[in-house]
Chains A and B, each alone.
Chain A
């Protein structure tokens, strides 16, 4: 029992570390996606971490397989609009929300953000959940001046390093499931 719990915790922490988008110089915004604890299979917690002391307008777009469940922000700071969910993050650094995806389906989360104080906009790291439940997170494009809106660059392609991390995360989650069974 003790060994099982310890291993589960170790694996959970490892998965957490691997799923956190590594900090890069041009993208200080992080996305983390993990299976939601104590929730049915296919339920995930998404955490977005922003630099402190700002006002952010966040637009998350979900593929049709993904259902937005709830967020930890007050209701007046969250707006669902079709396949999008908008967040107003004021003064805080984090927004956390729950999504659900039918087990066996894959889905994608893309997002943009705008710093309402400075006007700079950017893409959030893209997240992809595979049909096996593995989680891939690409790098975002960080911030760029709002005046460049018309010339927004598409999300960067998945780099080999990130692909390796995603594979590792998938493997660890698979191990975790087996351990639970």
Chain B
């Protein structure tokens, strides 16, 4: 046997032995750097034996896009994660991260498992309707996850932390080859940075940057004007979740978003994050604007699921006719609004914030066009074929 054949045989053996966690494909020197000669050997081995092709392709990717080195990123849990090869099989357990992947132009074809909530949002995630369901972060189907043989699993970072910590720990014990990555995907304080890290992680830097600029510009269009409004002049807002008389207080995401839009949450100082409110307290604190969140609980209608203007009208009538509310400025001046959680609760919160800003300060934000921003987000960044229809209602009245 000639020496070159021996080297080739060794290369074929190494490459056929399959992916090894913690090693770059083809890094025969073991120095965590793929040299040109090592890649050449991988390519030649693949030409000799077609079964080695995937490893050679991974090596080519690492060499061309990662400069021959493993990719290291710090995710939103603060942990450094190391990628040794591009992902081919990905499970995403939070739809917010999945949505952000689309926003940054990631080709989501490697996504082979999603959580049950993603599957329920068929109108928004039509391409995943046939994808395997892996339960939810609260009730994960471990057997299913492991059977899918993913090389990466995405979880929340700080949201539902204990559940996600448990999933990560269990996967680390049972399937150490799986890379766990944690992002929240919608918190205003971390979202811009997460867009950048996800772009870096998934090699979507350019489109990630473009989306980040779009997002930041639309947030800044509101928040840059707010400091000019004296605290005492800010609009008093009563925000009610989809549970009647349940509001939000400081520390909650909704309170933060009301603040971003320049509103003053009348229940911000309640001790609980989501306090139950005495109806009398609403009357006493005399809100100038009322926002009712819909899209869940007994108010599951509208949004991307579409339809049902009658339900919006009925709920609007019920709220504005609550006992004593006709005396409220917010009702008297027709400043009561229904807002769908689809554009406030997740990565699209910046659209909801824009709507709120136009409701709080119609003159100051007369130039804002939240509906236009929404349409652009769906067509340009979410790449949805039929982004919005007349039957999809996100705010009421509009």
Contacts and interface: CB of A to CB of B under 8 A. Distances in A.
B46 A57 contact: yes
B57 interface: yes
B57 A74 contact: no
Interface in B32-55: 36-37, 39-44, 46-48, 53
A77 B228 CA distance: 65
A53 B63 CA distance: 11
Interface residues of A, number: 21
Interface in A57-92: 57-59, 74, 76-77, 79, 81, 86, 88, 90-91
Interface residues of B, number: 21
B46 A79 contact: no
A51 interface: no
A39 interface: no
A76 B47 contact: no
Interface string A35-62: 0000000000000000001111111000
A4 B351 CA distance: 77
Given A81-B48, A117-B61, A117-B64, A90 B39 contact: yes
B310 interface: no
A114 B60 CA distance: 12
Nearest to B56: A116
Nearest to B45: A79
Contacts, number: 62
A88 B43 contact: yes
A119 interface: yes
A96 to B, nearest CB: 17
Contact of B37 (A55, A58, A76, A117): A76
Contacts of B281: none
A24 B63 CA distance: 29
Interface string B53-86: 1001101110110000000000000000000000
B50 to A, nearest CB: 9
Contact of A55 (B8, B48, B64): B64
Contacts of B48: 79, 81, 86
A57 B56 contact: yes
Contacts of A91: 36, 64
B41 A76 contact: yes
Given A55-B39, A88-B39, A79 B60 contact: no
The 4 A-B residue pairs with the shortest CB-CB distance in the complex, in nearest-first order: A88-B43, A116-B60, A55-B60, A88-B40
